[in-house]
């Protein structure tokens, strides 16, 4: 079997990929993956909201 040369950019990206995480996610059904993604989105929004509450209201530079 002939192996073609690997693209160095692709190889650089592959080095940082957690394949175990990919395998675990692929064990889930599409519906389960969607629910998991939606839960992550909800958490991210809650964290953004908490950050806004801590920082307080923002002012625009032109509205002084």
Write out the residue range of the structural domain in which residue 48 sits.
15-54
Give the separation between CA 52 and CA 46, rounded to whole angstroms. 10
- Does 50 reside within a domain? yes
CA distance 33 to 25: 7
What tokens were used for 49?
A: 């909201």
Q: Is residue 37 part of a domain?
A: yes
pLDDT for 57:
80
Examine residue 7 and state whether it is found in any structural domain, yes or no. Answer: no
**Tally of domains within the chain:** 1
- Angle at CA 21, nearest 5°, toward 2 and 44? 135
Residue 29 counted as domain residue:
yes
- pLDDT per residue rounded down to tens, the chain (64 residues): 456 678 888 888 888 888 899 999 999 999 999 999 999 999 999 999 999 999 988 777 775 5
**Domain annotation covers residue 19:** yes
- 25 lies in a domain? yes
Query: In this structure, is residue 2 part of a structural domain?
Result: no
Which tokens sit at 47? Answer: 């964290």
The pLDDT value given to residue 20:
92
């Amino acid at each position: 079997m002939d192996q073609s040369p690997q693209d160095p950019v692709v190889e650089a990206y592959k080095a940082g990929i957690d394949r175990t995480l990919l395998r675990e996610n692929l064990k889930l059904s599409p519906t389960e993956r969607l629910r998991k993604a939606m839960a992550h989105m909800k958490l991210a929004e809650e964290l953004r909201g908490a950050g806004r509450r801590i920082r307080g209201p923002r002012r625009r530079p032109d509205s002084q």
